[in-house]
Amino acid sequence: MRIGIIGYGTRMDYFLNRLLELELGAELAAVADIDLAKANTLLTAKGLDVTRIALYTDADEMLAAEKLDGVMIGTRCTLHTAMAKKVLAKNIPLFLEKPVAITLEDLKKLRAAAQASDSEVVVSFPLRSTPIVKLVKEIIDSGKLGTIEHIQAVNNVPYGSVYYHSWYRDEAETGGLFLQKATHDLDYLNYLTGLRPLEVSAMESKRVFKGSKPAGLFCRDCGEWETCPESPHVLKHYSQEEITGEMCAFAEDTGNHDSASIMIRYETGMHAVYSQNFYSRKSAALRGARLIGYKGTVEFDWYQDEVKVHMHHTPRVENYKLAAAKLPHFGGDSALALNFIRVIQGVEQSRTPLEAGISSALLCLKAEQSARTRSFQSVVLEQ
């Protein structure tokens, strides 16, 4: 299986490992990227023979010249829709990084392109493919909880500084942290409930990663580089945290909220509440949800690798301990890679179809509108 990649950055370099380690016949045939020197360095470090990989600076040239069995897109978010349209026009399997689009106009273009295409699309939503979500889905579908009537979901991100130290702070490139982070969580909620969201409201705050330092300031150029809790020096030598960038997290141009909450009303009248936070650290990390029915509650946390079922009318609690917390995306990336290969082989359909990506991105965009206008937003993609 000859795979092409458009936009060979950190995510695609990492995800390519998941494809190759399956040893099912996938090989990297071509790469299109504006920075071929960086791509060459990453590919060489992986131990691949770069002379056997066709390198292009233009995606159109690659798609025209190469006979590919599947294409993966890992460009900056602003280009996801434009690049996806090019692949969809070729009617070949597509792996599309999230968010699938960062504007309502691009969502409309993407849906129209998909409707005119025979391409099967696998969206990069690893959470719904993790062992924990598969188990929780099995529990919900068994009926032992009754129908789910309320959801409380949370994501306290322990590596949140990446969204203020690096290019992720540029909301013009990313679409903001609803699209960058909540899109994953809203997708798994949609998947677990199997319901259509109708209405959304949201609120966002920026209380920590803000300040009056000059725009464009790098930590190395600041007089507080030895003491600031977010400087690479302090993170490396005192906090034992990963360095994710060197731009000042307390400058005028940091962008991005640092906490936010979303409420979603589904077609049955059931509602879900989701909150995300980007200044939690270490053991304060939490990512999971409580899904509550009349008969029982199921709760889970990816960081703790645990699922609990509380029965409401009998004195019984069921505990499940999994072993996937240290796997890439809690085990979801390997499942995504396998599904993409099976889609190329024609033996499976996408488990994370494009419509799921559109639904989640639409929720995020409407949540952003709600937070900015302090209003409820209908979750409809008008033509």
**Tokens describing residue 272:** 């879900």
pLDDT at 242: 84
Residue environment code for 171-205, b if the CB has 16+ CB neighbours within 10 A, otherwise e: beebbbbbbbbbbbbbbbbbbbbebebebbbbebe
Nearest-CA neighbor of 341 among 79, 49, 333, 10? 333
Range of weakest confidence among 87-96, 99-108, 241-250, 289-298: 241-250
pLDDT at 14: 94
User: Distance between CA 342 and CA 93 in Å, rounded?
Assistant: 10
All CATH 3.30.360.10 domain ranges in the chain, comma separated: 128-210+255-323+359-378
When pLDDT is averaged across residues 272-291 and rounded to a whole number, the result is 97
User: Distance between CA 360 and CA 108 in Å, rounded?
Assistant: 14
Angle at 155 between CA 150 and CA 160, to 5 degrees: 160
At 107, the amino acid letter reads: L
pLDDT at 88: 98
**Tokens describing residue 298:** 């199921």
When pLDDT is averaged across residues 98-123 and rounded to a whole number, the result is 97
The answer to whether residues 341 and 26 touch, using CB atoms and an 8 Å cutoff, is yes
pLDDT at 329: 83
When pLDDT is averaged across residues 30-49 and rounded to a whole number, the result is 95
Burial of residue 51 (CB within 10 Å: 0-12, 13-18, 19+) is: exposed
302-328 pLDDT, tens digit per residue, is 999 999 999 999 999 999 999 877 877
Strands (E), the chain: 2-6, 27-32, 54-56, 70-73, 94-96, 121-123, 148-156, 197-205, 259-266, 271-277, 286-293, 296-301, 306-311, 317-321, 377-378
pLDDT band at 115 (very low <50, low <70, confident <90, very high): very high
CATH code for the domain defined by 2-126+336-353: 3.40.50.720
Whether 255 shows a pLDDT value over 80: the answer reads yes
All CATH 3.40.50.720 domain ranges in the chain, comma separated: 2-126+336-353
Give percent above pLDDT 70 in the chain.
100
pLDDT higher at 382 or 91: 91
Beta-bridge mates of residue 94: 71, 121
Residue environment code for 340-365, b if the CB has 16+ CB neighbours within 10 A, otherwise e: bbbbbeeeeebbbbbebbbbbbbbbb
Whether 15 shows a pLDDT value over 90: the answer reads yes
pLDDT at 91: 97
pTM, entire model: 0.95
Task: State which fold the 128-210+255-323+359-378 domain adopts.
Answer: Dihydrodipicolinate Reductase; domain 2 (3.30.360)
Tell me the pLDDT of the chain averaged across its residues.
96
